[in-house]
Structure formats: structure tokens, C-alpha cells
Amino acid sequence: MSRALLRSVLELRTPVTRLPPSFLLPMRSTPARFFNQTTQIIEPAQTADADAIHATLTAARQQLAKQQQQQQQQQPQSTPKKPRLPTEPSLPTPTGPVSESVRTLLPILAAQPGHYITIHIHGQPYLVTEGDSVRLPFKMPGVEPGDVLRLDCAAAIGSRDFTLQGAPYVDGRLFECRAIVTGTEAEPMRVLIKKKRRCRRKTHIRSKHKYTIMRISELKIRSDVSDL
């Protein structure tokens, strides 16, 4: 018992070295950072070379402007371009002699009744006879009612027993086909409704096309081709 009392007395006499918690300790200052600053090196400006380059560029620009002005003065004044109308490609005019088989069989074809012709108008073929009316799927520009048109682009001419087939077209000197423009026809108004999904808005597109109508007034096949 006496030893325990003595030990406790000794412990009370010796100071207790306990460190306070870390959050109560004073803040430590961070070591200062040092930056090395170097002196800026500035090269001397070459004013003489810069002035020379600037003078050269100015002279070149002035010379280029003078050349462009001279070219514009030499060119004639351009006339305003007119809108081009859709025309059928020009066909080569045959100037060679007619073959012997055509000379022999063409009079027989001309003597038969009920001729037909496959005429091409703006690239579209039309199988017609004399007196038929043709409704073109477009409005032909530059024509008026009463005009007479010479149709000389035919792919075939024939009758009940004979047919003259072109390669690709028949010689225009072997036949004469004329049509009279009778007028222009308009279709009823068309209304197309366009609508997108999940959208209540509707767009109404109205269209009313016009068509040219012509009548085949003459279809004649030459029987005498001795002068060709």
C-alpha cells in the first residue's frame, strides 16, 4: 500500500508533457518563393528595310490597279443577256444522195392511203395521222393560235404495208408535215395540301398548268425523188 502511495506522489511531482491537439497549434508559415526575373532583350528595329518593303508593295499594287483599269477599258460593253427559251436541238441537214432502195420503194409508200408519222416535238414522240389533234404536255413558247408549224423531225413514216424507219430520224426532204396551233388549254385548279408530322400547320400549294393544242393539217410523202 505504501509503495502505491509513493508512486502516485512521484507522478504528481513530475510535469506531464502532453502535446495539444493539432487544430490548436499555430499555423506554420510557408517558405517564401523567389522568382528569377530576366531582362527583356529588344532587338533594334530595321526601319530602313521596312520602308523599302512597304514602298515596293505600294508600287506593285498601283501597277496592278492600272493594268486592270486598262483591261476594263479595252473590253466592249456587254449587252444584257436575254432569257433563253427551251428549243429543240438543231438536227443536221442531210445533203447526201438518197439510197437506191428508198428511191424504189418511196413511190409505192406514197401511193398507199392512210399514212401515219411518228413526229418528235421537244424530244417527245407522237404517233399521228392527218387531221389528228395533239395536246402538248407544256405551253410552247413563242407561238400563237393560227400559226403554222413545219414538223421535220420524224422517226418513222409508214402506211398499212410499208414503213420508212429513220436512223435516228427520217430525211426531212422526203415528206412534208405541217400543224396549225389551235389554241391554249388550261387545266382545273389543283390544290396540294402539305403537312408535317406532329404539326398542325398545313400549306396549300395551288397550280394551274397550260397546254398548247395543235392539229395536223398536212401529211404528204414525196413520190418523185429523182432530183434528190
CB atoms within 10 A of CB 25: 9
Question: For residue 141, how far is the Cα from the chain centroid?
Answer: 23
Q: What is the pLDDT of residue 80?
A: 55
- Do the Cβ atoms of 174 and 164 come closer than 8 Å? yes
Mean pLDDT, to the nearest integer, of 187-201? Answer: 95
The listed range with the strongest mean pLDDT (70-74, 86-90, 102-106, 193-197) is: 193-197
For residue 205, the one-letter residue type is: I
CA distance linking residue 96 with residue 172, whole number of Å: 12
CA distance linking residue 34 with residue 42, whole number of Å: 25
Mean pLDDT, to the nearest integer, of 207-228? Answer: 89
b/e per residue 40-75 (b: at least 16 CB within 10 A): eeeeeeeeeeeeeeeeeeeeeeeeeeeeeeeeeeee
Q: What is the pLDDT of residue 127?
A: 96
208 — pLDDT class (breaks 50, 70, 90): very high
pLDDT at 16 over 60: no
Nearest to 130 by CA among 35, 218, 196, 190: 218
Q: What is the pLDDT of residues 18-59, one digit of tens each?
A: 666 666 666 665 555 555 666 666 665 556 667 778 788 888
Q: What is the pLDDT of residue 158?
A: 94
Can you give the pTM of this predicted structure? 0.56
Hey, which residues does 126 pair with through a beta bridge? Answer: 119
Q: Dig out the grid coordinates for 115 from the structure.
A: 399514212
Q: What is the pLDDT of residues 56-88, one digit of tens each?
A: 888 888 888 888 888 888 765 555 555 555 555
